Chain A
C-alpha cells in the first residue's frame, strides 16, 4: 500500500520538455487516472514512476521514499502495457510467475499466487497456453494477472484497454475497477479516452502539453472545469463555445452573442461572483450539448434562454437526437480556444471531427421535430452555462 507524490517533476528529451513541473499526489488506495490527448506527457509521467524513464528534475516519492535513482526492479511496482508485452516464449503460467521467480519466492507460494490470480481472472483453463494462442481479451487478462501476482505497492496501467473492441473494453473497465477496489491497491491509470477516465477514476488528472491542468473527481471535472481545455476535453460531444459579451440589465446579467441575448440564471451568477468584473466585456460562453433542449419539449415560458437556429444535420442516437445547428454568432477566434477544441475533438472517443465555425451541437429529446434545413428554437439551460476569460481561457468562478 502506498502513497505517491510527484514533486515538481519535469522530463526533457533534449530541448523538448515533455512533462513540465508536475505536482501530483496519489493517495493510498486511490485509483488516479491521468488523461489527455496524445503527446501530453501522461505516458512519460507514468514511465517515470515505473523507472523506465529518468526524471530530469524534481522527485518522485513512493511512501516517503525518493525513488528517482531506483531501478524499476527495486520500486515494487507492477505495470500493464498498452500492447501487453507478454513474453511470447513463456506459457501463461510462466508469464505470471516470471516476476516472482526473479524475486526468488518459494515455489509453493508462486504456484498459490498464480493459481489465485488465474481464478480471479478466469484464466485457469489457459495456464499452459502460449500468448500467441490467446485472444486479445485473454492476453489483456494475462497482463493483468502478471501484475496482480506480484502484489506490488503500486499498479501502473498504460492505456491497457486501447487494443480491445468497444464491448470488451467496457467489460474490462468494470473488472479493473472491481479488482482495484478489492485489492485496495494504489493505481495510476493512463488513458486518452475521457470516458474511461471518467468512469474509472476516483480522481482524474488532465494533462496538456506536459502541464497538469486540473485534478478533481469526475463530477467536479465535468461541472467545474478550470479552463477551456479541460471543459472541451471532458464531455462528449464537446462543449459548444461562442464569443459573447456580458451586460447587466434590470433582470440581472445577460450574455449577448450574435443576434442572441440570453439571461444568466441569478443563482448561477451569484455562485460566480467574478462574473461581475466582466460586465460589459467579452467572455467565452460555453454550453454542453447535454444542457440544451428543443424549446418545444421544455415546459417553461423562459423565452430569455432560447435562441433560433437552423438545423444542418440530425443524428438519431435512439434515446436522444444530436442536431448540428447553425447559429448566428461568431465562434471565438482565439488561438488558445481553437487549439483546445481541436485537440479534444481529434482525440475524443466520440470522434467529433473539428467543428466548423458557427456550428452548435445540441442533444435533444427523442421527441424533437428538428429536421435538416428547418428552423428550431433551442433552450439553453441558464443554470448550466460556463464562462471563460477570452484571453487566458481560464474559467470564471470566484
Chain B
C-alpha cells in the first residue's frame, strides 16, 4: 500500500502545473537561443572560414583569418590602443567609483541630490556624451583649453584629440570613464552598505583610526563590489566604440579593436576576419574578467 503511494508522491512535481515553468520560459529560451547563443556559435565557427558576401561561397580557411589579422599592422595597433583604453578605463572608473562611493556612504542631507547627479552620466547615450565632450576638447573654442590657459597650466591652445596618441586615448577614454563611473560607484556602494556598522564600532573600540578602519575593514570587505565594478568597466572599455567613433573616427592613432572589427566587417565586408577578431576579443574579455575575479574577488559572508 505504501509502495503504491510512493508512486504518486515523490520528486515529480505532482501539482503546481508541470508544464507551467516551460511555458513561462519559452519566449526567453527562444530569444536567447536564436539571438544570443546561436550567433555566438556562428562567430566561433565561422572565424575559421572565409566569409565574403561579394565572393561566395563560404569555405573553410583554417587559421588563415587569424594569420591575416596578426600581420595586419592596423589590427596590431588597435590592440595596443585597446590595452591602453582598458588600463585607463578600469583604473580611473574604479578609483573614482571608490571615492564617490565612500563619500556617498555617509548619510547626509545632500546625499539624495548628489546621488541623483552622480548617476546622470550613466543614463545618457555614449554618442551624445562624446559630442558634448568633443566640444569641451575643441582645439580652437574648447573650454578645456580656455580653463587651462587662464590658469596658466598651458601657454597656448592645444589640439587634444588626434595628435598625440596617448593623450587622445586618455581623453577619449575619459569620456567613457565619465559614463561608467556611476555604475562602479553604485556597485561599490552596495558592497559598502552590506558591511555591518557594528564591525566599524568594534574596530573603533579596539582603537582603530580612520585609516586603519579603511585599510583593515573597508578595503577587504568591499572586494566583491570592486571586482564586479572592475569587470563591468573592463567589458565596456574592451568594447569601446561610440566615443572613439565620434571623437576620432577611424584614425589608427585611436582606433579600438571594436572599431577595427566594424571596419573589417562592414566597410571591407571581410566577415571571416571580422569573426576571427571578434572571437579573439571575446576570449580576451573572458580571460581578463576571470583574471580580475581571481585577483580581486573574495567571497565575504556576514
Contact = CB atoms under 8 A, between A and B. Distances in A.
Direct A–B touching, Cβ under 8 Å: yes
Interface of A: 8, 51, 54-59, 68-69, 71
25 contacts: A8-B2, A51-B15, A54-B9, A54-B10, A54-B14, A54-B15, A55-B5, A55-B9, A56-B6, A56-B9, A56-B10, A57-B2, A57-B5, A57-B6, A57-B9, A58-B2, A58-B5, A59-B5, A68-B5, A68-B8, A68-B9, A69-B8, A69-B14, A69-B15, A71-B15
Contacts of A56: 6, 9-10
A188 B285 CA distance: 57
- What 8 A-B pairs come out closest when comparing CB atoms? A57-B2, A71-B15, A57-B6, A57-B5, A56-B9, A55-B9, A54-B9, A69-B14
A69 B5 CA distance: 10
A123 B8 CA distance: 44
A88 to B, nearest CB: 22
Contacts of B14: 54, 69
Interface residues of B, number: 8
Nearest to B10: A56
Interface in B1-51: 2, 5-6, 8-10, 14-15
Contacts of A58: 2, 5
Given A56-B6, A69-B14, 16 more contacts: A8-B2, A54-B10, A54-B14, A55-B9, A56-B9, A56-B10, A57-B2, A57-B6, A57-B9, A58-B2, A58-B5, A59-B5, A68-B8, A69-B8, A69-B15, A71-B15
A69 B15 CA distance: 8
Nearest to A56: B9
Nearest to A12: B10
Nearest to B15: A71
A224 B72 CA distance: 91
A22 B46 CA distance: 62
Contacts of B15: 51, 54, 69, 71
Contacts of A8: 2
Contacts of A59: 5
Interface in B169-197: none
Nearest to A14: B11
A51 B8 CA distance: 15
A59 B8 CA distance: 11
Contacts of B2: 8, 57-58
Nearest to A10: B2
A53 to B, nearest CB: 11
Contacts of A54: 9-10, 14-15
A54 B16 CA distance: 11
A19 to B, nearest CB: 13
Contacts of A69: 8, 14-15
A54 B2 CA distance: 15
A87 to B, nearest CB: 20
Q: Give the interface centre of B6, B9, B14 by most chain A CB atoms within 10 Å.
A: B9
A48 to B, nearest CB: 11
Contacts of B9: 54-57, 68
Q: Give the interface centre of B5, B6, B14 by most chain A CB atoms within 10 Å.
A: B5
A68 B14 CA distance: 10
A71 B20 CA distance: 15
A69 B6 CA distance: 12
A68 B10 CA distance: 11
A56 B5 CA distance: 8
Interface in B81-102: none
Contacts of A51: 15
A247 B5 CA distance: 52
A57 B14 CA distance: 14
A178 B15 CA distance: 36
Contacts of A57: 2, 5-6, 9
A68 B8 CA distance: 9
Interface string B239-256: 000000000000000000
A68 to B, nearest CB: 7
Contacts of B6: 56-57
A54 B6 CA distance: 11
A58 B10 CA distance: 11
B274 to A, nearest CB: 49
Contacts of B10: 54, 56
A337 to B, nearest CB: 33
A68 B9 CA distance: 8
Contacts of B5: 55, 57-59, 68
A202 B5 CA distance: 32
A51 B9 CA distance: 12
A55 B5 CA distance: 9
A54 B9 CA distance: 7
B10 to A, nearest CB: 7
A54 B8 CA distance: 10
A295 B201 CA distance: 51
A71 B16 CA distance: 8
A201 to B, nearest CB: 29
B8 to A, nearest CB: 6
Nearest to A21: B2
B15 to A, nearest CB: 5
A20 to B, nearest CB: 13
Nearest to B8: A69
A170 to B, nearest CB: 32
A289 to B, nearest CB: 37
Interface string B145-162: 000000000000000000
Nearest to B3: A57
